[in-house]
A and B are shown apart, each in its own frame.
Chain A
Amino acid sequence: MSTFLGIDYPTWWFLLVGGVFSGYAILDGFDLGAGAWHLFFKKENSRRIALNAVGPVWDGNEVWLVIGGGALFAGFPVVYATMFSAMYIPFMLFLAFLIFRAVSIEFRSKEKMEWWRKTWDISYSVSSVMLALLLGVVLGNVLQGAAIGEDLEFQGSWLEFINPYALMVGFTTLALFMMHGAIYLLMKTEGKLYEKLIVLLRRGIIFFIVMFSITTLYTLIYIPHLSDDFKSNPALFVLPVLAFLSIANIPRLASKRKFRQAFIFSSLTVAFLLILVAIELYPVLILSTIDPAYDITIYNAASSEKSLGIMLIIAAIGGPLVAAYTIFVYKTFSGKVELDDHSY
């Protein structure tokens, strides 16, 4: 098997897909979090500022999902096919909310009528909440595993995606994004909205810590395969410790009103949690609840070495380009939101 820097291609591609989805979670995570808070802002001007805080960047952020989906399709077609067809309904709902989130942002400002704006505000906020929840539900199902048969096809019922654990992970994801989104909005606002967000962030942090603790405890007790790597290899314990430290740092920095730093740590929290997930899963992508022999792994799901090699080159050329103009765009729109005649 070909390797690069001593790591085989499927593993590289596992890291890459994981990296892109982490990027998506960090970037669109704050958009979705901001959207989830949207109805908590009562004044028209506050809602406009909140919307324009994500206005110039949400579309670029969503592209990370498109790239992630493409990378998964390209790198691990078997996972793409099995997972998407097994969870048909949640993915279709996800698409519907993705459409509503996008057009709500676009349409809201186009009319002045109160009912019009209110309708799109509700649509925007509900979509953001549902997207965060559904992302978590999909993740929860991946963590638990699914009824994968011998032919690597799903054999369960289409309703299995709704289960207590998946919902728990769903709400944890929502809480994480809401905390992350509130911190993002704090960097972009001032005045009364800023003061209000400080209160909201406090609630968001509590919501997250409660959900996170419940989910973690449940995972440790009932889903042992999600912690055995850490038990068997004490050196890896440094990672959960880092994740906890990073979480603990958020309320500390928030109370000092250092929101830029807090944002770095909420982003790191997203990343650390996903790294924990990745370590526990690797090299399995979807665990079979029927027989471990049917697990979908990065090896039986991967594209050919040739294809992975080509795409690694594409990623190596494209990655720095994407990073460069992402940074450029964020720099252009850095600082507090100022509404002008081009704003939403």
Chain B
Amino acid sequence: MDVEILSRIQFAFTVAFHYIYPPLSIGLGLIMVIMEGMYLRTGDKMYETMTRFWTKIFALTFGIGVATGIVMEFEFGTNWATYSRYVGDVFGSALAAEGIFAFALESGFLGILLFGWNRVSPKVHFISTLGVFFGSMFSAVWIVVANSWQQTPAGFHIVGEGTSARAEITDFWAMVFNPSSLDRLSHVWIGAFLAGAFLVMSVHAYYLLKGRHELISKKAFKIALGVAAVFSLAQLFTGHRSADGVAQNQPAKLAALEGHFDSLSVADMYVMGWVDKEKQEVSGIKIPKGLTFLLHQDFETPVRGLNSFPEDERPGAVNAIFQFYHIMVAIGMFLIALSLLGVYYWWRGTLFEKRWLLGLFVFAVILPQIANQVGWYAAEMGRQPWVVYGLLRTSDALSKVVTANQVVFSLIMFTIIYTLLLALFIYLLNKKIKHGPDDSDLIDQRSHQREMAELFESKKA
């Protein structure tokens, strides 16, 4: 294999693995802020206990997130040197802002969040939790800005020609608020909130099914369910906005997302399907003229298809992009249905009696993770063959001095390390979940006493 494909595999692998963790950190951060906020407001020790419990799981996800995050920053220089020279002037300022405004904030306060329970007042501790949460939100801001600039470049001009060409910034705010930044940022944030909320619901649903930590689990589950319901619906909105943006700014990507080949025709929308790239056909369940309607709110306006782009400017893996995108959308819809169902039973007061539903929630934790992953695959593969859309090709962005053997070495190294990390993560996560929150001194013993009393009564009778 050549350096290009190896470097792409390595970057995709390391960034995909990394992306298991930051969404959890952001999502758990939000839920911890709510839990600890409830503790400060109500003084109910149970909220403090659940915050402490989730802090420990947060520490695990955050730790691996930090450890695997620096890898990508370095890979820009090691594997994508030409890219680094090309975008450094623009991309660099976003990365610098991320480091100084986001990472420093979250890592600084992390120490207090994890180890400061007995050292600072509850208020200062809450401020630290907020600091870590905002830090993780800001880090998403800058990295999504940088990536969005690669999707929809703005606020720059090109200096030099050929191999020495590079983008130079002309307008910082135009770069930051490039056409896709806000839509994609909100989409990423909410994806992260859902990842966190569904993890919390999964763990507490598991406790409820096992009859452990019941009181605390009911409270925690409701908090997470509220978050999930609000944001799974909101995700529909940001998702639509993102798709609209793709249609305007990256028509070739949009065509790949829906497997739309005809140069200019009214486009269908598929619920699911399979793309045959050779025959330029999609077979599956479709909503006729659905894509046209979604984009233009009518049934006549044509949509540009893949064939209207020069062959070397079309994304290659159309079927993969199609599948990833449709899996993401399907999961998004399912999460809305699941959350609303949960809310309905909550309103009816029978939520915690529906064991089948709790069982579903135990396994649903994997869904936002999959959606977050495949959503990014679709976004990044759909941008190909460009690394900076319309400006720099991925094949031109490589390091010229790095050889295939070197990349094979590092790829094997990362594969081994990350396999080990994932195994350890799952093992330790499982262990922490099995251990559960330290709520033994909080549980109200009165119901237990009443049961005993009833038992005596019935024996007497």
Contact = CB atoms under 8 A, between A and B. Distances in A.
Interface of A: 55-57, 59-60, 62-63, 65-67, 69-71, 73-78, 80-86, 88-89, 91-92, 94-96, 98-100, 102-103, 105-107, 110, 151, 153-155, 158, 303-304, 306-307, 310-311, 314-315, 318-319, 321-322, 325-326, 328-329, 332-333, 340, 342-343
B169 A304 contact: yes
B85 A81 contact: yes
Q: What are the 9 closest A-B residue pairs judged by CB atoms, nearest first?
A: A77-B88, A74-B92, A84-B77, A56-B111, A318-B100, A85-B399, A81-B81, A67-B99, A102-B67
Taking chain B's interface residues, is the majority helix, strand, or loop, or is none over half, making it mixed? Answer: helix
A13 to B, nearest CB: 10
Contacts of B116: 56, 332-333
A81 B163 CA distance: 14
Contacts of B288: none
A82 B81 contact: yes
A69 B111 contact: no
Contacts of B78: 84-85, 88, 91-92
A107 B76 CA distance: 29
A80 B107 CA distance: 24
B417 A99 contact: yes
B74 A56 contact: no
B115 interface: yes
B13 interface: no
B76 A67 contact: no
A311 B81 contact: no
Given A80-B88, A307-B168, 14 more contacts: A59-B110, A65-B70, A66-B103, A80-B77, A84-B78, A84-B399, A85-B77, A92-B406, A92-B413, A95-B70, A102-B66, A110-B431, A151-B164, A307-B92
B114 A56 contact: yes
A151 B163 contact: yes
B68 interface: yes
Contact of A306 (B120, B168, B399, B402): B168
Interface string B394-435: 000001111100100110011001000100100010010000
B426 to A, nearest CB: 13
Best-surrounded residue of B99, B131, B159, B170 (most CB of chain A within 10 A): B99
Contacts of A303: 88-89, 92, 168
Contacts of B401: 85-86, 88, 153-155, 158
Contacts of B35: none
Contact of B89 (A77, A85, A92): A77
Contacts of A60: 104, 107-108, 110-111
B5 to A, nearest CB: 17
B95 A106 contact: no
Interface size class of B (residues with CB under 8 A): 35 or more
A275 B164 CA distance: 32
21 contacts: A63-B99, A63-B104, A66-B103, A67-B99, A70-B99, A73-B91, A74-B93, A75-B92, A80-B88, A85-B78, A88-B406, A89-B409, A92-B78, A92-B406, A96-B417, A99-B417, A303-B168, A314-B101, A326-B104, A332-B119, A342-B114
Contact of B88 (A81, A103, A318, A322): A81
Interface stretch (B57-65, B224-232, B294-302): B57-65
A325 B67 contact: no
A283 B109 CA distance: 37
A70 B95 contact: yes
Interface of B: 59-60, 63-64, 66-71, 73-74, 76-79, 81-82, 84-85, 87-93, 95-101, 103-105, 107-112, 114-120, 131, 159, 163-164, 166, 168-170, 172, 399-403, 406, 409-410, 413-414, 417, 421, 424, 428, 431
Contacts of B105: 321, 325
Nearest to A324: B108
A59 B74 CA distance: 18
A20 B402 CA distance: 28
A70 B73 contact: yes
Given A81-B399, A153-B400, A73 B104 contact: no
A99 B67 contact: yes
Nearest to A80: B77
B421 A103 contact: yes
A6 to B, nearest CB: 24
Contacts of B168: 303-304, 306-307
A158 to B, nearest CB: 6
Contact of B107 (A63, A86, A99, A340): A63
Contacts of A89: 406, 409-410
Contacts of B77: 69, 73, 80-81, 83-85, 91
A89 B59 CA distance: 30
B425 to A, nearest CB: 9
